[in-house]
Structure formats: C-alpha cells, structure tokens
Structure 1
Amino acid sequence: MAKRKPSFALQVRIIHRYLGFFLAGIMFIYALSGILMIFRNTNFLKKEIITEQQLAPNLSDRQLKPVFKKGADVIKEEAGVLYLKGGTYNKQTGLAVIKKQELPFILNKMEKLHKATTDSPVYFLNIFFGASLLFFVLSAFWMYTPKMAIFKKGMYYAVGGIILSLILIFV
C-alpha cells in the first residue's frame, strides 16, 4: 500500500509545532527584553556606574557631548564645576565624573539583541525570527479546518485581536 502524502494543512501544523519548539528560547528572550524595554527611560533594574576621565581643561558644552552622550545637558555651574545630567566636569582640572545607569550584564545583552540593526552581526537572526513570527501568524489559520466550531470561534478572536491592534496603533 502506497503511503499518502500529508495534506498541506498537516504539513503546516508539523512545521508550526517544531518551529515553535525550536524558537522557544529566543521567544522567551524577546518577550522578556521587550518587557524590559518598556522601562528603558527609567532606572528599573539598572545600577549606577561611575567612572572618572581626565579631559582637557576649559572644554565647551559641545566638546563634552561625546563624553557624556545623553547626559551632556548642563544643569548648573558652581565654582568652575559644571553639573550635568550625566555627572560633573571641572573646568580648571579637566576631571570628568561620568554617571551612567546600566542593566545587569545578561539583561543588557538581551536588550542589545532585541534592538539589533544591520550594523549588528546578528541582525539576520532578527530577520529570521520576524519571518518565523509571520509564519506563526499565518499557520495558525491552518491548525483547524474551517468547518470546525473551534475555527469559527478562533475567527472571532482573530478579528478582536486585529481591532485591538488597530486601536493601539492609532491611540
């Protein structure tokens, strides 16, 4: 007796299942880092890192920007010391005290993976992961046949999810 080729729907279900198992770890990382990124403008889970750097004396605000980056805005100046968002700079001695807030090592690495761009050596992983998520979205519609009650109920949930997504985009 000849073995029947599995239907397209069954093949999609099989790929969906094993791809889901394969990507479970990276989905966990992206979910956790995505939640953490919501709090990126706060100090949630961050620790303060203080470094000292000897710079040339009498630098201008513009010259301090590369050193202090986002914290280069001058708050006040007293006795030749500039107080910035990201630390202090002594105009006479050139000593800069730089304060940064950083996530713990592993969380920082997870966040960098999540925010990877084409400059990152792992950007292909983001493309593969995004394509896999698109496959999961589409393959979910082949998990059950349209005649089944669970498929029809699922369509209501799908429409509800699409409406919620549109609301979130435009609000």
Structure 2
Amino acid sequence: MKFSSNLLRKWSRAIHRDLSFFFSGMLLIYAISGIVMNHRDSINPNYTIERREYVIDEPLPLKEFMTRQTVLKLLYPLGETENYTKHYFPEQEVMKVFLKGGSNLLVNLKTKKAVYEGVHRRYVIGAMARLHYNPGSWWTLFADAFAVGLIVITITGMAMLKGNKGIWGRGGVEFLAGIVVPLLFLFFF
C-alpha cells in the first residue's frame, strides 16, 4: 500500500475525532477544576462556609448552668441539633459549640450575640479538584494515558489541514504562539 499525504490526513481525522470525543469529558473536568484551583484564595474547592451572625432573643443561663439540653435548643433553629458533639467555654462569658463536619457556634452569654459557621462539603468540585493531586497509582496510569492522548490529538490536528491553514501556514503561527505565550508568562511575569 502506497503512503500518501491524503491517507495521512484521513487517518489523522479519524484518530483526532475519536480521541477528542473519548478524552473530552476528562478535559472538561480538568478545565473546570483547574479554574477553581487557580482561584483557591477566593473559592475553597472542598467546602462552602456559611457565616451567620445574629442575636439570641431568649435569656441565656450562666456558664455554670449551661446544659447540653440548653445548647441543643440554641442549635434547633440552625437545624444542627443532630450534629452536636460538645461545647466548652474559652472565656467566662463565651461558649463555643462544636458540630460534626467542622461547623461551630460561638455565643456570647452576656451580649447574646451568636456567630454560626456552617461548613458543608462540595462533593463534585472537591472530587474533581482532588484529581490534580494524583490520588493514586491507578490515576497516574489514566493521567499518563490522557497526556499521551492529548499529544496524539495535537499531532493529528496539525496533520489534518494542508496549505495556508495547516502547520506550514496560519496553523503553524498559532501553534508557535501557543508555545511562546506560556513561556513568556513563565519567564517574565
């Protein structure tokens, strides 16, 4: 069988198409979680933290008379009675209540000011972000296959077009720009 550039382009299109569809889900997962990871200073990929400040309108007992039942009554409006673990007093008039999952309630018994911090896991984004930390040897194999697949997709994509739109024309200029721009950021910014 004679090798020709038309045959190369035909096979490149088929391989490019099939690998692109196969890896497109992984590419979306990496892209979405990558955006979240790039903004970790303002978006926690693993948890949402809800902070609520309010004033308790009922009388509160002193530290010596604070019981578990009284604390559970304070947790009821927050929907956290089932998550109570313990409470303690870091100061004479300040009570801190610990809840399952990392949430907590801080209450000033004198002023009746309360601060609730609810911590809730982000299951989907958190799981996607964990993939950036290489969670196991099985993932290393898939990530390596993904990287090789992206290389093949890139090479077949460059081989598909000929003429001034291909690698020897506009495509080549765009390809070089795609290399130069990240290098500029790496070395100069």
**Which range, TM-score by smaller chain?**
0.5 to 0.7
User: 1:102–1:108: 8 Å Cα contact kept in structure 2?
Assistant: no
From 177, 182, 185, give the equivalent of 1:160: 177
* 2:158 counterpart residue number: 141
Name the aligned partner's letter for residue 11 of structure 2.
Q
* 1:110 counterpart residue number: 128
* 1:71 counterpart residue number: none
CA distance in 2, matches of 1:42, 1:103: 16
Name the aligned partner's letter for residue 185 of structure 2.
L
Please give the root-mean-square deviation of Cα atoms over the aligned residues, in Å.
Answer: 4.0
Shift of 1:25: 1.4
Aligned CA distance change for structure 1 residues 124 and 101 (closer, same or farther; 3 Å): farther
CA distance in 2, matches of 1:115, 1:155: 33
Asked whether 1:169 is paired with 2:170, we answer no
**Unmatched tracts of structure 2, length 5 or more:** 51-79, 95-101, 105-116
CA distance in 2, matches of 1:168, 1:101: 36
CA distance in 2, matches of 1:78, 1:113: 42
Name the aligned partner's letter for residue 133 of structure 1.
L
CA distance in 2, matches of 1:122, 1:132: 15
Q: How many residues align?
A: 138
Name the aligned partner's letter for residue 183 of structure 2.
L
TM-score by length of 1: 0.60
Shift of 1:139: 1.9
TM-score by length of 2: 0.55
Report which structure shows greater RCO (CA 8 Å, sep ≥6). 2
* 1:34 counterpart residue number: 34
CA distance in 1, matches of 2:176, 2:130: 33
Shift of 1:107: 1.0
Shift of 1:122: 2.3
Q: Comparing both structures, which one devotes a greater share of its residues to helix?
A: 2
Aligned CA distance change for structure 1 residues 87 and 22 (closer, same or farther; 3 Å): closer
SS at match of 2:128: helix
CA distance in 2, matches of 1:100, 1:116: 29
Shift of 1:102: 6.2
Name the aligned partner's letter for residue 47 of structure 1.
T
**Unmatched tracts of structure 1, length 5 or more:** 55-76, 89-98
* 1:15 counterpart residue number: 15
